[in-house]
Amino acid sequence: MRLSLATEPAYADRPNKGFVGATPDAIVLLDGAGAPADPETGCSHGVAWYSHTLGSTLLAGVTQSADSLTAILAAGIEATASMHDFCCDLSHPGSPSATVVMLRRTANVLDWLVLADSVLVFDVLDAEPVVICDERETLTGNRYREPMNAVIRGSPEHLQALSRPCAHTATSTGDSGSPQSTPSPQNRR
Ligand SMILES: [Zn+2]
Protein backbone atom coordinates (compact mmCIF):
# COMPACT_ATOMS: atom_id res chain seq x y z
CA MET A 1 0.00 0.00 0.00
CA ARG A 2 1.39 3.40 -0.98
CA LEU A 3 0.80 6.15 1.60
CA SER A 4 1.21 9.91 1.76
CA LEU A 5 0.52 11.45 5.17
CA ALA A 6 0.32 15.10 6.13
CA THR A 7 -1.06 16.97 9.14
CA GLU A 8 -0.76 20.60 10.11
CA PRO A 9 -1.75 22.53 13.25
CA ALA A 10 -4.60 25.00 12.82
CA TYR A 11 -2.39 27.69 14.40
CA ALA A 12 1.41 27.79 14.12
CA ASP A 13 1.83 28.57 17.82
CA ARG A 14 -0.40 25.73 19.06
CA PRO A 15 0.08 21.95 19.23
CA ASN A 16 -1.10 19.85 16.31
CA LYS A 17 -4.38 18.26 17.39
CA GLY A 18 -4.42 15.93 14.40
CA PHE A 19 -3.20 12.35 14.36
CA VAL A 20 -2.63 10.01 11.46
CA GLY A 21 -0.91 6.65 11.54
CA ALA A 22 -0.81 3.61 9.29
CA THR A 23 0.37 0.05 8.89
CA PRO A 24 0.36 -1.91 5.61
CA ASP A 25 -3.27 -2.89 6.30
CA ALA A 26 -4.76 -0.13 8.44
CA ILE A 27 -5.06 3.64 8.69
CA VAL A 28 -6.24 5.69 11.67
CA LEU A 29 -6.93 9.42 11.52
CA LEU A 30 -8.18 11.70 14.31
CA ASP A 31 -8.92 15.40 14.60
CA GLY A 32 -8.87 16.50 18.22
CA ALA A 33 -11.63 18.74 19.52
CA GLY A 34 -12.42 20.52 22.75
CA ALA A 35 -13.23 23.87 24.24
CA PRO A 36 -10.81 26.73 23.47
CA ALA A 37 -8.05 27.60 25.91
CA ASP A 38 -9.69 27.87 29.28
CA PRO A 39 -8.22 26.94 32.65
CA GLU A 40 -11.50 25.21 33.44
CA THR A 41 -11.66 22.72 30.55
CA GLY A 42 -11.54 19.79 32.91
CA CYS A 43 -8.35 18.23 31.45
CA SER A 44 -4.80 19.30 32.25
CA HIS A 45 -3.34 17.25 29.36
CA GLY A 46 -4.95 19.05 26.43
CA VAL A 47 -6.56 18.11 23.15
CA ALA A 48 -3.31 17.16 21.35
CA TRP A 49 -2.40 14.71 24.11
CA TYR A 50 -5.87 13.18 23.88
CA SER A 51 -5.94 12.73 20.09
CA HIS A 52 -2.36 11.43 19.91
CA THR A 53 -2.89 8.99 22.79
CA LEU A 54 -6.22 7.71 21.47
CA GLY A 55 -4.88 7.55 17.90
CA SER A 56 -1.86 5.44 18.79
CA THR A 57 -4.05 3.20 20.97
CA LEU A 58 -6.49 2.65 18.10
CA LEU A 59 -3.71 1.91 15.63
CA ALA A 60 -2.34 -0.75 17.99
CA GLY A 61 -5.86 -2.13 18.48
CA VAL A 62 -6.73 -2.33 14.81
CA THR A 63 -3.43 -4.08 14.11
CA GLN A 64 -3.60 -6.60 16.96
CA SER A 65 -7.32 -7.37 17.29
CA ALA A 66 -9.86 -9.02 15.00
CA ASP A 67 -12.71 -7.33 16.91
CA SER A 68 -15.06 -4.98 15.09
CA LEU A 69 -13.80 -1.42 14.61
CA THR A 70 -16.65 -0.25 16.84
CA ALA A 71 -15.42 -2.49 19.66
CA ILE A 72 -11.81 -1.41 19.12
CA LEU A 73 -12.85 2.24 19.26
CA ALA A 74 -14.88 1.72 22.44
CA ALA A 75 -11.95 -0.08 24.10
CA GLY A 76 -9.51 2.62 22.93
CA ILE A 77 -11.65 5.42 24.32
CA GLU A 78 -12.01 3.59 27.61
CA ALA A 79 -8.26 2.94 27.83
CA THR A 80 -7.41 6.56 27.05
CA ALA A 81 -9.96 7.84 29.56
CA SER A 82 -8.46 5.59 32.23
CA MET A 83 -5.11 7.33 31.75
CA HIS A 84 -6.48 10.59 33.13
CA ASP A 85 -9.88 10.08 34.75
CA PHE A 86 -8.21 9.95 38.17
CA CYS A 87 -6.86 13.49 37.78
CA CYS A 88 -9.11 15.21 35.22
CA ASP A 89 -12.81 15.98 35.14
CA LEU A 90 -14.02 14.00 32.12
CA SER A 91 -17.63 14.98 32.77
CA HIS A 92 -16.75 18.60 31.90
CA PRO A 93 -18.29 19.54 28.51
CA GLY A 94 -14.96 21.09 27.42
CA SER A 95 -12.97 17.93 28.08
CA PRO A 96 -11.03 16.78 24.96
CA SER A 97 -12.65 14.56 22.33
CA ALA A 98 -11.83 13.67 18.74
CA THR A 99 -13.26 12.75 15.39
CA VAL A 100 -12.17 9.31 14.21
CA VAL A 101 -11.64 7.55 10.89
CA MET A 102 -10.47 3.93 10.88
CA LEU A 103 -9.83 1.75 7.84
CA ARG A 104 -8.72 -1.89 7.93
CA ARG A 105 -8.00 -4.39 5.18
CA THR A 106 -8.41 -8.08 5.93
CA ALA A 107 -7.81 -10.31 2.89
CA ASN A 108 -10.12 -8.76 0.27
CA VAL A 109 -12.44 -7.04 2.72
CA LEU A 110 -12.29 -3.40 3.80
CA ASP A 111 -13.82 -2.31 7.12
CA TRP A 112 -14.23 1.32 7.92
CA LEU A 113 -15.58 3.53 10.65
CA VAL A 114 -16.28 7.26 10.56
CA LEU A 115 -17.14 9.20 13.72
CA ALA A 116 -18.07 12.90 13.62
CA ASP A 117 -16.83 15.40 11.05
CA SER A 118 -13.83 13.73 9.47
CA VAL A 119 -14.48 12.32 6.00
CA LEU A 120 -13.35 9.15 4.25
CA VAL A 121 -13.15 9.25 0.45
CA PHE A 122 -12.61 6.20 -1.75
CA ASP A 123 -11.19 7.00 -5.16
CA VAL A 124 -12.85 4.23 -7.16
CA LEU A 125 -11.45 3.25 -10.51
CA ASP A 126 -13.69 4.33 -13.40
CA ALA A 127 -16.44 5.57 -11.06
CA GLU A 128 -17.37 8.55 -8.95
CA PRO A 129 -15.51 8.80 -5.62
CA VAL A 130 -17.36 7.25 -2.68
CA VAL A 131 -17.61 9.71 0.21
CA ILE A 132 -18.32 8.41 3.73
CA CYS A 133 -19.51 10.99 6.29
CA ASP A 134 -21.10 10.92 9.70
CA GLU A 135 -23.71 13.66 9.39
CA ARG A 136 -24.88 13.57 13.00
CA GLU A 137 -22.30 16.16 14.09
CA THR A 138 -23.57 18.61 11.44
CA LEU A 139 -27.20 17.98 12.34
CA THR A 140 -26.47 18.61 16.01
CA GLY A 141 -24.13 21.53 15.34
CA ASN A 142 -26.67 23.32 13.15
CA ARG A 143 -28.93 23.68 16.18
CA TYR A 144 -26.24 25.54 18.13
CA ARG A 145 -24.09 27.28 15.50
CA GLU A 146 -26.36 30.30 15.06
CA PRO A 147 -26.25 31.37 18.74
CA MET A 148 -22.46 30.92 18.68
CA ASN A 149 -22.04 33.03 15.56
CA ALA A 150 -24.22 35.79 17.02
CA VAL A 151 -21.71 36.66 19.75
CA ILE A 152 -18.05 37.73 19.74
CA ARG A 153 -15.66 34.79 19.36
CA GLY A 154 -13.77 34.13 22.59
CA SER A 155 -16.17 36.14 24.72
CA PRO A 156 -17.79 34.59 27.82
CA GLU A 157 -21.07 34.44 25.88
CA HIS A 158 -19.32 32.54 23.06
CA LEU A 159 -17.80 30.04 25.48
CA GLN A 160 -21.20 29.55 27.08
CA ALA A 161 -22.83 28.96 23.68
CA LEU A 162 -19.97 26.63 22.72
CA SER A 163 -20.48 24.47 25.79
CA ARG A 164 -24.15 23.81 24.95
CA PRO A 165 -23.58 21.26 22.14
CA CYS A 166 -20.88 19.57 24.25
CA ALA A 167 -23.31 19.29 27.12
CA HIS A 168 -25.96 18.01 24.70
CA THR A 169 -23.53 15.33 23.43
CA ALA A 170 -22.69 14.27 26.97
CA THR A 171 -26.38 13.96 27.77
CA SER A 172 -27.35 12.18 24.58
CA THR A 173 -24.72 9.45 25.00
CA GLY A 174 -26.59 8.38 28.09
CA ASP A 175 -23.44 7.50 30.02
CA SER A 176 -22.00 9.02 33.14
CA GLY A 177 -21.56 12.35 31.42
CA SER A 178 -18.34 12.00 29.48
CA PRO A 179 -18.68 12.76 25.77
CA GLN A 180 -15.64 10.50 25.23
CA SER A 181 -16.97 7.26 26.61
CA THR A 182 -19.82 6.08 24.43
CA PRO A 183 -19.07 6.08 20.71
CA SER A 184 -21.85 5.40 18.23
CA PRO A 185 -19.97 5.41 14.95
CA GLN A 186 -21.00 4.25 11.54
CA ASN A 187 -19.43 0.95 10.67
CA ARG A 188 -19.91 -0.58 7.29
CA ARG A 189 -18.42 -3.37 5.34
ZN1 LIG B 1 -6.50 14.99 31.17
Ligand 1 centre to CA of 167 (Å) is: 18
DSSP string, 104-167: EEETTEEEEEEESS--EEE--TTSPPEEE--THHHHHHHHHHHHHHTS-TTSHHHHHHHHHHHH
Residue 7 is assigned to a structural domain of this protein: no
Ligand 1 centre to CA of 110 (Å) is: 33
Residue 8 is assigned to a structural domain of this protein: no
Residue 5 is assigned to a structural domain of this protein: no
Residue 1 is assigned to a structural domain of this protein: no
Please state, in angstroms and rounded to a whole number, the distance separating the CA atoms of residues 172 and 81: 19
pTM higher than the cut 0.75 = yes
DSSP string, 95-117: S-EEEEEEEEEETTEEEEEEESS
Ligand 1 centre to CA of 160 (Å) is: 21
Ligand 1 centre to CA of 56 (Å) is: 16
Residue 3 is assigned to a structural domain of this protein: no
Ligand 1 centre to CA of 49 (Å) is: 8
Domain that holds residue 175: 18-188
Ligand 1 centre to CA of 124 (Å) is: 40
pLDDT band of residue 189 (cuts 50, 70, 90) is very low
Domains: count for the chain: 1
Ligand 1 centre to CA of 84 (Å) is: 5
Residue 134 is assigned to a structural domain of this protein: yes
Residue 9 is assigned to a structural domain of this protein: no
Residue 6 is assigned to a structural domain of this protein: no
Section 20-41 average pLDDT: 84
* pLDDT tens-digit series, residues 126-137: 999 999 999 887
Ligand 1 centre to CA of 163 (Å) is: 18
Q: In this model, does residue 33 exceed pLDDT 90? A: no
Ligand 1 centre to CA of 187 (Å) is: 28
